[in-house]
Structure 1
Amino acid sequence: MELFWKTHMRFQVIKAVCVLFLVVLLGQEGVESRNVKTVTTSFEYSGINCRAHSVSFTDFGGVGDGKTSNTKAFQSAISRLSEYASDGGAQLYVPAGKWLTGSFSLISHFTLYLHKDAVLLASQDMSEWPVIKPLPSYGRGRDAAAGRYTSLIFGTNLTDVIVTGDNGTIDGQGAFWWQQFHRKKLKYTRPYLIELMFSDNIQISDLTLLNSPSWNVHPVYSSNIIVKGITILAPVTSPNTDGINPDSCTNTRIEDCYIVSGDDCVAVKSGWDEYGIAFGMPTKQLAIRRLTCISPFSATIALGSEMSGGIQDVRAEDITAIHTESGVRIKTAVGRGGYVKDIFVKRMTLHTMKWVFWMTGNYGSHADTHYDPNALPEISGINYRDVVADNVTMAARLEGISNDPFTGICIANVTIGMAAKAKKQPWTCTDIAGMTSGVTPSPCTLLPDQGVEKITACDFPQEGLPIDNLELKKCTYSLKLF
């Protein structure tokens, strides 16, 4: 019995020591775990495709202090995520912070997502902007004859790409570039904020773009594109800060965007003079919906002037412009070649405009001196209806090309309220042909009024565009951030 009790007591002591050791160990681990802050963040958005893998930019050494360059971190992260392209794709989440970066390139089957308090700050170190060749349909850079700086967010030969967020911000810090441009100090064309080339299935949505060095959004030589919910802001005196420029693109949808800029809010393009003619890639099947524009020195929607590859089947509706130079402007010239045809615009509301409608065939501004003077553009099938405007200086300035008139112009159900100091002659028309119905003030004689019985003229095509059949998916993610 005595031996039993000694053995029992020894066991209890060992047990107590083990329990004490375990408590101390767990306590230490508890202290250590309290020093590690784990945050779970969830977010959702609508996308052309959802991704099987999602990681945070901080996992790749990103520093959001607004001072540290993250160019290499973005390049490293995206390179690593390319491994998942064939395994459901990948998403890079950029959390709140100010992320200074130069140019970086995207990959296929990829989403870049910006938190609502995330700001991508464009670097002002020009060594972080690689120089690439001019676009083949332009033959030269637009600012300078040589090459061009790569855009901040760039990609080429991609498929299935999304740049989106919870209204996160991309700040181009453009004042640096504007000053260089005005001083004629740039050897190359300024970068854009987002440019995707030779790509298919693109979504750019729910972002705020500030102070771009030049154009903001430039899909080029691409197809099946959605640009949605974008806010673009730049000083109205900033040079060439176009909002959204679909360029030699097919099947594009631009909707629910708000743009204040120093140039055209939407500029539709397809190449410049002999280079655009040779490249031969038009912009077609373009829908523009629910656009709001402020641009005192430029157009709400511009077609051209670089349109040498052709522009066809553009449909714009529910457009609002305030204190903007013109509602719709067609810009072309002798030597452009190409065409602008089958254009349909309806339901425009315009406040304080210089011109409501403006077409010009003498825009000039050639790529070089080698353009063909016999390359005349075709402008035909231009349809405007259901337009209300007030405080307008001049209703329309419509100037075709001698021996190459602009034809098939149709304007119906339009009421234009002239400003107190409006031009005495509200319409100027040369080298054009077409008709009107229910237009006030009375148009020029080259656009004879067909009477109210023709007020249903100039209407949209009944069939939709293929891009309207693309429905966005609901993507939901949860990430643990350490």
Structure 2
Amino acid sequence: MTRPIAVAISARIAAIRLPVPGALYHLPRPLAFRLTPVARPEEVRTGLADRAVMLLNDLSPGTDYWFQADGLEPFEFRTRPCTALVEAAEFGLVEGTDLADIDSARHNAEALARAVRAVPEGGTLRLAAGLWTALPLRLASGVTLHLAKGAVLRGPALRTGWPILPARDGTGHMLGSWEGLPDACFAAPLHAVDAERLTIEGAGVIDGSGDAGDWWTWAKESREGARRPRGLHLIRCRNVALLGFTIRNAASWTVHPQGCDGLVAAGLSIEAPPDSPNTDGFNPESCRDVRIEGVRFSVGDDCIAVKAGKRGPSGEADHLSETRGVRVRHCLMERGHGGLVIGSEMSGGVHDVTIEDSEMLGTDRGLRLKTRRGRGGAISRVAMRRVRMERVLTAISANAHYHCDADGHEGWVQSRVPAPVGTGTPVIEDVDVHHLAHAAGVFLGLPETPIRGVRIRRLRLHSSAPEAVATPPVMADHVRPMRHERIVAEHADISCDDPALLSSASVSIPSVRDAP
């Protein structure tokens, strides 16, 4: 028998992975479990687990537990100690439903800031059940923010008094950002800068109120000299755990770790309406060692978008650093433009990204790699294993002619004629896909740096929608419409264990394929 695996353990919550064969987001069948405090066996807790990554809530700090689930070996773990439990309500919070009440939002932000300062290293700030509207709160190192069941922490509808993060801090490092470049942005309702040993957890809700104000009406613009805020923005943080909460209605990207090292997200629910602009679910940018497990996504843009910054219009690169080591397991992408996306901001390089044992239902794309001339950087060692897709338009796409930015449709970006190789030439290599169920793929590389080392194994196509309409499958110019295609590739090296899946057809419209 195999043993359960601890994904993350805080003082009051344990995220446990149940390694059952065939488990994706859900288990093949529910498992009965028992949870027993070792020193208090009379307090045994029983239940049924239906997800591969389960959260055990309401645990006692500094306590040994014995966990048993049907068919798995017994597993013992110990919760972290907690130096103090601080109740946010004791600092004079005002509960209310008026999202336009800026005075109350400012009052609550000041009260929460005092509460954060009152939490000792290793302590917990608990936000009790209630509807709490506050201007953005900055979290600190060594603090656990515990959102109790029924607690909703939300931003106000108006921008009056909303703090702004400058593009760079006093040392010149990127602070505020927008689509991979330093840029002033409104602070996220919850954010942290240079924090370590930070935990945000609980069964409560973080609500960015993107649907309440005018945030979603100026998606690519600035107001008051700043870009839209994220839902949760973590900048240069180390050893962060995000456990169990729901985060919804972000003004732009929902969860944005930027320059972080050592982050685990488990059991979250990330939500945004399908028509909300650029409300990506989880966007690790220039990060190392990121684990995303048992997270449910239903958003207005990409579910997970792995990024590494964007080279500036004049080649600026001092803000760039790589993303390396992203692991996605047992997640559910119920809607979104892409399930797991890399790019298009990838100038610092993205390496060692794996998604496995997950489900994508109704996303436009499954695994999606996107870049273009001018970005530079490299994408390498990408793997997708045991992923089930339903109602996905294109399962796998790699596009080196992505027509983003103002010059994205220029001839030098979209030309299929080889261009000189330089610092702005992107590279895609070493993509490994196997145990994948559903549709096929499109790979559109650059003639000067073809996509290399793509390996596809055990791809199973179960059905194609009879009502499908022929449409270009990737966002690039001169791409022909496709319907019920197999794997098509241009300027790409593809290896497949089933040669029948490889098509000899071109991706581009034949008349422009080799045009100067």
Residue 262, structure 1, aligned to residue 300, structure 2: yes
Shift in Å at residue 173 of structure 1?
A: 1.6
State the Cα deviation string for residues 258-290 of structure 1 (Å, max 9, x = none): 110110100100101247743341111111011
Query: Is the Cα–Cα contact under 8 Å of residues 216 and 276 in structure 2 kept in the other structure?
Result: no
Shift in Å at residue 142 of structure 1?
A: 4.2
TM-score of the aligned structures, taking structure 2 as reference length: 0.71
Pairs within 5 Å for 1:16-95? 43-44=58-59, 49-67=80-98, 69-79=104-114, 81-82=116-117, 84-85=119-120, 88-95=121-128
Distance 1:63 1:262, change over 3 A: same
Shift in Å at residue 59 of structure 1?
A: 0.6
Match of 1:134 among 154, 157, 167: 167
Provide the residue aligned with 2:386 in structure 1. Answer: 347
State the Cα deviation string for residues 112-149 of structure 1 (Å, max 9, x = none): 11111011121122124211223666996349995210
Distance 1:159 1:184, change over 3 A: closer
Structure 2 CA distance for aligned equivalents of residues 283 and 48 of structure 1? 30
Query: Is the Cα–Cα contact under 8 Å of residues 266 and 295 in structure 2 kept in the other structure?
Result: yes
Provide the residue aligned with 1:431 in structure 2. Answer: 491
AA aligned to 1:420 is: P
Query: Is the Cα–Cα contact under 8 Å of residues 272 and 366 in structure 1 kept in the other structure?
Result: no
State the Cα deviation string for residues 89-117 of structure 1 (Å, max 9, x = none): 32111111100011110011001111110
AA aligned to 1:262 is: G
Provide the residue aligned with 2:287 in structure 1. Answer: 249
Residue 411, structure 1, aligned to residue 442, structure 2: no
TM-score of the aligned structures, taking structure 1 as reference length: 0.76
Provide the residue aligned with 1:381 in structure 2. Answer: 430
State the Cα deviation string for residues 38-72 of structure 1 (Å, max 9, x = none): xxxx9438999543011111110012223362444
Shift in Å at residue 244 of structure 1?
A: 0.6
- Which secondary structure does the structure 2 equivalent of 1:59 belong to? helix
Query: Is the Cα–Cα contact under 8 Å of residues 335 and 373 in structure 1 kept in the other structure?
Result: no
Distance 1:264 1:328, change over 3 A: same
Q: Which of the pair has the greater relative contact order for Cα pairs under 8 Å at 6+ separation? A: 1
Provide the residue aligned with 1:170 in structure 2. Answer: 206
Pairs within 5 Å for 1:198-277? 198-274=236-312, 277=317
Residue 399, structure 1, aligned to residue 444, structure 2: yes
| Unaligned 5+ runs, structure 1 | 1-41, 448-482
Provide the residue aligned with 1:420 in structure 2. Answer: 466
Provide the residue aligned with 2:342 in structure 1. Answer: 303
- Which secondary structure does the structure 1 equivalent of 2:89 belong to? helix
Structure 1 CA distance for aligned equivalents of residues 291 and 116 of structure 2? 28
Shift in Å at residue 184 of structure 1?
A: 5.4
Query: Is the Cα–Cα contact under 8 Å of residues 334 and 362 in structure 2 kept in the other structure?
Result: yes
Shift in Å at residue 151 of structure 1?
A: 0.8
Residue 125, structure 1, aligned to residue 161, structure 2: no
Distance 1:131 1:185, change over 3 A: closer
AA aligned to 2:486 is: P
Structure showing greater radius of gyration is 1
Greater helix content: 1
Structure 2 CA distance for aligned equivalents of residues 81 and 170 of structure 1? 17
Distance 1:125 1:238, change over 3 A: same
Provide the residue aligned with 1:284 in structure 2. Answer: 324
Shift in Å at residue 183 of structure 1?
A: 9.7
Structure 2 CA distance for aligned equivalents of residues 51 and 408 of structure 1? 48
Shift in Å at residue 302 of structure 1?
A: 0.3
AA aligned to 1:383 is: D
Distance 1:179 1:239, change over 3 A: closer
Identify the range of structure 1 (335-344 vs 48-57) with the bigger mean alpha-carbon deviation.
48-57
Distance 1:418 1:236, change over 3 A: same
- Which secondary structure does the structure 1 equivalent of 2:90 belong to? helix
Query: Is the Cα–Cα contact under 8 Å of residues 165 and 176 in structure 2 kept in the other structure?
Result: no
Question: What is the percentage of aligned positions where both structures have the same residue?
Answer: 25
